[in-house]
Amino acid sequence: MTRGAIALAVIIVFQIGLAYSTTLFPSLRPLLRSSPQVVVFRGQLMKKRMNRDAVTVEDVRVGMRRNNILSLDEIEVMLLEASGGFTVVTRKQMQSASLADGEVPESLKGLRNFQVLWDEALGEKRGSPSTTSGTAVEGASHRPLNIEHQRRFDKEDLEAARHARDVSSS
């Protein structure tokens, strides 16, 4: 009983210490907190990303059911959040605004670094959300990202995203 209480106390103190340290030292946040990861882009499963984050096809299906989505083709982007839940943006939601015109749909505001994820997936180099006029996303990092160190997609995932873009545009 005493050992269990000590273990629980150590875990609680450790958690509070980490939370406090990220408040005092913001540069530690990227090391201690994960950012959303793209698991579906334009109806295509990002299998390497899913494998790396231990996300199964069944997990994606559960996320789809919770968001009343019947088909992968309805999904523009599905993000795995740090909490373990999914955020889904459908193609209908994306039609309401054009990212190419610098507009971000209301459903995407608050998603950290969405514009960077979008740009990487499309292979475009528009810059980070903080440096591109009109494309800043609320809650996004206000410093340029080092793409080599904070890469969101593997080469295979980028090719799948480009293929999805080419298929949808033809």
* CATH number where 154 lies: 3.30.240.20
Residues 86 and 110 in one domain: yes
Number of structural domains, the chain?
Answer: 2
In terms of residue numbers, what domain contains 7? 1-33
Residues 87 and 11 in one domain: no
% the chain with pLDDT above 70 = 55
DSSP sequence for 82-137: TTS-EEEEEHHHHHTS-GGGT---GGGTT-TTHHHHHHHHHT-----TTTSTT---
User: Among all chains, which residue has been given the structure tokens 């340290």?
Assistant: 21
Residues 10 and 71 in one domain: no
For the question of whether the overall pTM of this predicted structure is more than 0.85, the answer is: no
Q: Averaged over 1-27, what is the pLDDT?
A: 88
Residues 68 and 132 in one domain: yes
Residues 132 and 60 in one domain: yes
User: Among all chains, which residue has been given the structure tokens 């209480």?
Assistant: 5
pLDDT value, residue 21: 85
35-70 pLDDT tens trace? 788 899 888 998 888 888 889 999 999 999 998 999
Instruction: Name the band, by pLDDT with cuts 50, 70 and 90, for residue 7.
Output: very high
Is residue 147 over pLDDT 60? no
Instruction: Name the band, by pLDDT with cuts 50, 70 and 90, for residue 156.
Output: low
Q: Averaged over 59-85, what is the pLDDT?
A: 89
Quote the CA–CA distance of 23 and 104 in Å, as a whole number.
29
Report the mean per-residue pLDDT for the chain: 70
Residues 65 and 135 in one domain: yes
115-127 pLDDT tens trace? 566 565 555 434 4
Instruction: Name the band, by pLDDT with cuts 50, 70 and 90, for residue 27.
Output: confident
Quote the CA–CA distance of 50 and 52 in Å, as a whole number.
5
Name, of 45-59, 85-99, 139-153, the range with top average pLDDT: 45-59
Residue predicted with more confidence, 110 or 49: 49
Residues 87 and 133 in one domain: yes
Decide if 159 contacts 49 (C-beta within 8 A).
Answer: no
